[in-house]
Structure 1
Amino acid sequence: MSSVKETVDVAAPLRIAYNQWTQFEEFPLFMEGVDEVRQLDDRHNHWTTSIGGVRREFDTEIVDQLPDDRITWRSVAGDTRQRGSVRFERIDETHTRVELTMDVEPTGIAEKGADALGVIDRRVKGDLSRFKDYLESRGHESGGWRGRIRPADPGSPL
């Protein structure tokens, strides 16, 4: 697995930055290569991506979500293996730090080569920069989900 960690400071209050990130179906507006995200229920999303001419579909499950703090997910079905977490930290009344950490398992020769060249790192950095621009240009969130999703018991399989 390849690990990526990127951070961006957004000129928006913590609640607004977090709320906007919960609008998963809007991810294609600022994430390169993401064609569609369909929210299936509070925990599950179906993704369609096109990266380097390779189309992938996969499902993710949110395994931990605490409003204004973090969202943690993992892939559960499809041809992409990944897990990650996005964390939100209040800097001051009008600024928030957004930190995205992902573990991605590239499949295929093209994806492994792209990973070796740092493409995944640059894509995540670009996505966070576009999220910052998207939110700051709007001036407010387009919606928000404030529910709590708790991780499974340590003794049970995720």
Structure 2
Amino acid sequence: MSASLVETVDLQAPVSVAWALWSDVTRWPKFLSHVARVDKLDGQRFAWKLELPGADKAFVAELTEVIPEDRIAWRTVEGVDHAGVVTFHRLSDTTSRVTLQIEYDPKGFVEHLGALTNLDSTLANYDLGEFQKLAEATASS
């Protein structure tokens, strides 16, 4: 059984700022609360270390599509089974919308519990809120 989640946030920041933050994977731990670290392996692949309540996970993901200021897509190649895409939408010169969509296979009790209780959605919502704060602070500086 696969699960999916979609979360969207509107930013008081231009697409260029949102893109610059999100396209630098080394910055992801600053706004993704469960990501301990992301290490670049090569141009397309990254090693992730997640810290989740009751479970730490490590996996390797590869970028499958990168269209500047439009979308970033990835899928895992070892470890947990998941794929995702982040899209960037220009609303005006100073505002943008970011949508995060993740498809995953909730293997194991912790992931099943998360999917059942909407913990994943809550976490994604919180993370996008942290991203929004960072993007807006960056845009206004």
Shorter-chain TM-score: which interval? Answer: over 0.9
- In structure 1, list runs of 5 or more residues that go unmatched: 142-158
Identity within the alignment, %: 30
CA distance in 1, matches of 2:103, 2:89: 21
Cross-structure match for 1:149: none
The question of 1:53 aligning with 2:54 is answered yes
Q: How does 1:4-153 map to 2 (within 5 A)?
A: 4-78=5-79, 80-139=80-139
- What TM-score do you get using the length of structure 1 for normalisation? 0.84
Query: How far off is 1:105 after superposition?
Result: 1.2
Count of equivalent residues: 140
- Once the two structures are superposed, residues 72-126 of structure 1 have per-residue CA deviations (whole angstroms, 9 ceiling, x without a partner) of 1100012x11101000010000011001110011121122012100001111111
For 1:29 and 1:98, the matched residues in 2 are separated by 17
Which is richer in helix?
2
Q: What's the C-alpha RMSD, in Å, of the aligned pairs? A: 1.4
2:14–2:139 Cα contact (<8 Å) kept: no
1:144 corresponds in structure 2 to: none
Stretch moving more, 90-99 or 8-17: 8-17
Which residue identity is paired with 1:64? E
TM-score under structure 2 normalisation? 0.94
CA distance in 1 between partners of 2:110 and 2:94 (Å): 41
- Range that drifts further, 32-41 or 56-65: 32-41
Q: CA deviation at 1:53?
A: 2.2
CA distance in 1, matches of 2:107, 2:74: 19
Gaps of 5+ in 2: none
Instruction: Tell me if structure 2 keeps the 8 A contact 1:16–1:140.
Output: no
Cα deviations by residue, 1:128-155 (Å, 9 ceiling, x for unpaired): 11100112123379xxxxxxxxxxxxxx
